[in-house]
Chains A and B, each alone.
Chain A
């Protein structure tokens, strides 16, 4: 009886084919969806091994963290500015009138189990998300990865950065605490400063003059949890879809050409590394959320438009705009019955508009200047494109200087110098530092271009004098630890070019030839 059962099992297993249950599942899926061919190609997809390709992964994974923690928070948050009396575990606030948004955020922090951790992870996640997008963007910029054929992905990425900043600001406003309410008040005034449409824009959005009719928090909530995340999700999908379709860029190197990609395969190597990295990004966010307090709103209290706190600063990714607002001279235009507040309009509307327009247009601008219409899959070394690198360095120098300018008051206090001196320092620095940074970068790039074997260990040179008195130089032989062996890159073992075998399927697997070569670093 049992012998028969075993035989049946064995025959059933044999009938399943050499790949067992997995093969069966592939068969079933492929019958319906035709996944096998593309699936194999996907498993063989090659990812170049370079640390800088991990920066975009940080953005992607912090977005995942934000979605997960955000879903948790949305189950407890109440988007309303209705005034209620707080009764909860945070004693100092007990019995006070607060808004429902504020109350629910405090109760997430103190009454929901794990709530404080998730809330802090969400806030840290937002800071990491925007930060990693910018660093990833810098990598793309300085290595020229945005060039044809990847301009569209650059534009999508820049759009996602703008959305991420907007999403961060809106999310920061939701708890309706004193600090975020002040930020919202400033946002209102910036929108109001736009000529012709400003007043309409703010009364439409807020439902009237600030603070409006209590409609702004519910509106911001739905923008924050549905509209922008949905758009971001769509853009992320297109971003990654284009990346798969156009394949990765790579740095030049032995065996690497414009027409191939060298690296490790999707499955299993890259999948293991990147899944591990997802865990590590999540873990880093959790550790920050656990040990570094962020936005303790219960110390600020519920928003009250007539109260304010000292050293008010926005989240870091808004700092450059705050800095620009601080150092701008008070140039308001008033006349003919109208007012144009240039002191707000220029730094907070025109300036960021200009920066993002330049960012979006950069691939087109560079193409126009260089006249380069070729397809590029090999990356530039930044030093080989001194002008672009200098322009990027100047841009970052400008933004960092403005970021510094967003803490004029704190700096003046800290160094015991006059606020006026700090202000004028930044007014001058914001012009001088980017120019100096650009020129220095340009010169450094040019210098580095002239150095041979940069980054490699210098080999001593033996100077010999011949009997005739002639000097010759001979390089010393490479040291043993400079030598290592490297395999020739070879195709991922076997692509899926199925030609039915005529001999009834008994062909031998082709063994792949391997070349082992000696390479000197």
Chain B
């Protein structure tokens, strides 16, 4: 290769840059030397802390020691750099012209003209092709939604209306033990599930049992309630046991707090309150409906059972819900 070819392909243009003596390029700080020293100290401290983080990690120290060292180190590093930029770098003020982004009127018209007139070629000359293509694309758009949406999960059907409680289902506690007449003393409360919802692997109630079937059982008295929780429910509360779906009718949180003296079930999420003696009609809060009550009874072995499934969907409202 000859020397000529080695030369850069263009001539170097001496490029005027701002002279460092220009006041705009000067430091903002009044005492640059002092600021420089301070920033140097900050950087040194940052180095120490960042190295300390390395040591902390190496020695597997606790989380706050890891976070403390890297936090302080990084903060000092960033603070020093920002201070350097703020006090010891060209502050200007510099000005930049704002060039208008808009095109000329001719350029705009030329774009609009191309769009309008060329699409006229498509639409006017080949109307049928255009229509067919639009139809095809539209159909694709619609049918493509099916697998995207429909494959996600099953249709609701009546799955939102039913629980696993049947006529005669035995009430069991969270480890599957059936409930008897003497399981609770007066004032006692427990959460019960339908027998058969125990996960054989873990020995606990299944996720579905916990989420859908959970029912709160309270012994309010040692006699059937008089007056009944609601007219027509005279025999629903044997030995003072009452049972309600534990799903709040507001948003489905478990109604997990029981105010024993007031005999109120309270939902900790949004403070809906239900009086257990009067059919769990909401006394307070945003819940719109009473908790569905369970018709209780005993089977031959003396276990508490559901005499019927819940007479309505449990939990919060939805459009298909009927009552």
Tell me the A residues contacting B by CB distance below 8 Å.
Answer: 15, 17-18, 27, 44-46, 49, 81, 83, 97, 113-114, 116-117, 120-121, 149, 182, 185-186, 188-190, 192-196, 198-200, 202-215, 245-247, 255, 258-265, 268-273, 275-284, 286-287, 289-291, 304-312, 322, 325-326, 328-332, 334, 337-341, 343-344, 377, 408-409, 419-420, 423, 486-494, 498, 500-501, 504-512, 514, 516
Contact = CB atoms under 8 A, between A and B. Distances in A.
Interface stretch (B106-114, B209-217, B300-308): B209-217
Nearest to A85: B202
Nearest to B11: A505
Counting chain A CB atoms within 10 Å of each CB, the highest count among B70, B246, B251 belongs to: B251
A205 B22 contact: no
A265 B154 contact: no
Name the 7 nearest CB pairs between A and B, nearest first: A290-B67, A279-B78, A493-B18, A509-B16, A272-B85, A276-B82, A276-B81
Most buried by B among A46, A279, A377, A501: A279
Interface string B79-117: 111111110011111111110010000000000000000
Contact of B319 (A195, A258, A283): A195
B50 to A, nearest CB: 11
B268 A310 contact: yes
Interface string B257-278: 1000000000011111000000
Contacts of B19: 493, 509, 511
Which residue, B75, B80, B199, B272, has most C-beta atoms of chain A within 10 A? B75
B312 to A, nearest CB: 10
A420 B283 CA distance: 11
Taking each of A81, A206, A308, which has the highest tally of chain B beta carbons within 10 Å of its own beta carbon?
A: A308
Given A186-B269, A211-B207, 18 more contacts: A49-B93, A113-B60, A189-B252, A199-B320, A209-B212, A213-B153, A268-B85, A268-B89, A273-B82, A276-B78, A282-B78, A284-B75, A290-B63, A290-B66, A290-B68, A308-B253, A334-B321, A490-B94
Given A186-B252, A199-B319, A490 B24 contact: yes
Contacts of A511: 19, 22
A40 to B, nearest CB: 9
A514 to B, nearest CB: 5
Interface of B: 6-8, 11-19, 22-25, 57, 60, 63-68, 70-75, 77-86, 89-98, 101, 149-150, 152-156, 159-160, 174, 191, 193, 199, 201-202, 204-205, 207-208, 210-212, 214, 246, 250-254, 256-257, 268-272, 282, 284-289, 315-323
30 contacts: A18-B14, A81-B207, A117-B63, A120-B67, A186-B253, A199-B320, A203-B155, A258-B98, A261-B98, A263-B93, A265-B90, A269-B92, A279-B81, A280-B82, A290-B67, A306-B254, A325-B270, A326-B270, A330-B285, A339-B323, A341-B317, A423-B271, A487-B92, A491-B96, A492-B96, A498-B13, A505-B12, A506-B14, A508-B16, A512-B18
A369 B251 CA distance: 40
A93 to B, nearest CB: 15
A419 B18 contact: no
A215 B321 CA distance: 25
A203 B63 contact: no
Contact of A113 (B57, B81, B174, B201): B57
B156 A199 contact: yes
Chain B CB within 10 Å — which of A189, A291, A491 has the most?
A189
Contact of A263 (B94, B272, B322, B323): B94
B161 to A, nearest CB: 10
B164 to A, nearest CB: 11
Contact of A83 (B16, B86, B201, B287): B201
A508 B17 CA distance: 10
B253 A283 contact: no
B81 A206 contact: no
A208 B14 CA distance: 73
A280 B77 CA distance: 8
A353 to B, nearest CB: 17
A334 B320 CA distance: 10
Contacts of B253: 182, 185-186, 308, 312
A344 B317 contact: yes
B288 A330 contact: yes
A245 B102 CA distance: 12
B98 A260 contact: yes
Nearest to A412: B271
A330 B153 contact: no
Contacts of B6: 15
A418 to B, nearest CB: 10
A509 B17 CA distance: 7
A192 B153 contact: no
B101 A245 contact: yes
A212 B211 CA distance: 9
Given A260-B95, A511-B22, A185 B251 contact: yes
A17 B321 contact: no
Contact of B67 (A17, A188, A190, A291): A291
Contact of A97 (B15, B16, B204): B204
Given A193-B318, A489-B95, A97 B57 contact: no
B191 A272 contact: no
A343 B286 contact: yes
Given A283-B71, A332-B289, A489-B93, A494 B251 contact: no
A387 B285 CA distance: 36
B319 A325 contact: no
A97 B308 CA distance: 32
B24 A487 contact: yes
Contact of A276 (B17, B79, B289): B79
B94 A265 contact: yes
B318 A341 contact: yes
